[in-house]
Amino acid sequence: MKFTPLRLPGAYLLEREVFTDERGSFARQFCRREMLDHGLDFTVCQCNLSGNKHKGTLRGLHYQKMPFPEPKIVSCWKGKVFDVLVDLRPESPFYLQHISLELTENDAFSVYVPPLVAHGFQTLQDDSVVYYQLGEFFHPEAYDGVRWNDPKLHIAWPIAENIIINQRDNNYALL
């Protein structure tokens, strides 16, 4: 795997090395040893799939608060998504700044989201599927979110009309 640091400290673009032959392809999705070699002490505690029927579906911006901060590795297994990370670490020089990128089923990329960085995505194609590897167990008492359209964040979501979003994500408090 190739690790490319992103602008937010501790966030990485992970690129799988894809090997192909007459049978198809093979790629390593995760290697704990390689993560440790890059200073990321990540143990998979849980894996989740997010199936999204319609283009324009928006999920997020989610994170887990202390004492259960949640690192994650996010991949698009089907379709195409606009992926967003928001730095919520007050000590970070990038506090309340975000990065965004597209993930597709056709690329070999995943994103490592460090603890206390909120994550969300918007689907750019129908029937998109996002796969999460989580480095902490789900703790409902620590689960929280940031409003997707908070004016302090200046996120330019690619689909602005007819967004499909649940009530919880649409009603998180503004910063």
Query: Is 119 a catalytic site residue?
Result: no
Please, what are the averages of pLDDT over each run of 10 residues along the chain (175 residues)? 95 94 91 95 96 97 97 98 98 96 95 98 98 97 97 96 94 94
| Identified catalytic residue from 12, 62, 112, 172 | 62
| Identified catalytic residue from 63, 98, 132, 154 | 132
Rounded-to-integer distance, Cα 139 and Cα 17, Å: 33
Question: Which structural domain, as residue segments, surrounds residue 6?
Answer: 2-170
Q: How many domains does the chain have?
A: 1
Q: What is the CATH number of the domain that holds 24?
A: 2.60.120.10
Q: Is residue 119 part of a domain?
A: yes
Q: Is residue 175 part of a domain?
A: no
pLDDT tens for residues 20-61? 999 998 988 899 999 999 999 999 999 999 999 999 999 999
pLDDT at 4 (0 to 100): 96
pLDDT at 148 (0 to 100): 96
pLDDT at 51 (0 to 100): 97
Rounded-to-integer distance, Cα 18 and Cα 27, Å: 5
Query: Is 132 a catalytic site residue?
Result: yes
Q: Is residue 83 part of a domain?
A: yes
Longest Cα–Cα distance of the chain, Å, equals 52
Q: Is residue 97 part of a domain?
A: yes
Rounded-to-integer distance, Cα 158 and Cα 92, Å: 27
Q: Are 48 and 134 in contact (CB under 8 A)?
A: yes
pLDDT at 112 (0 to 100): 98
Q: Is residue 133 part of a domain?
A: yes
pLDDT at 174 (0 to 100): 93
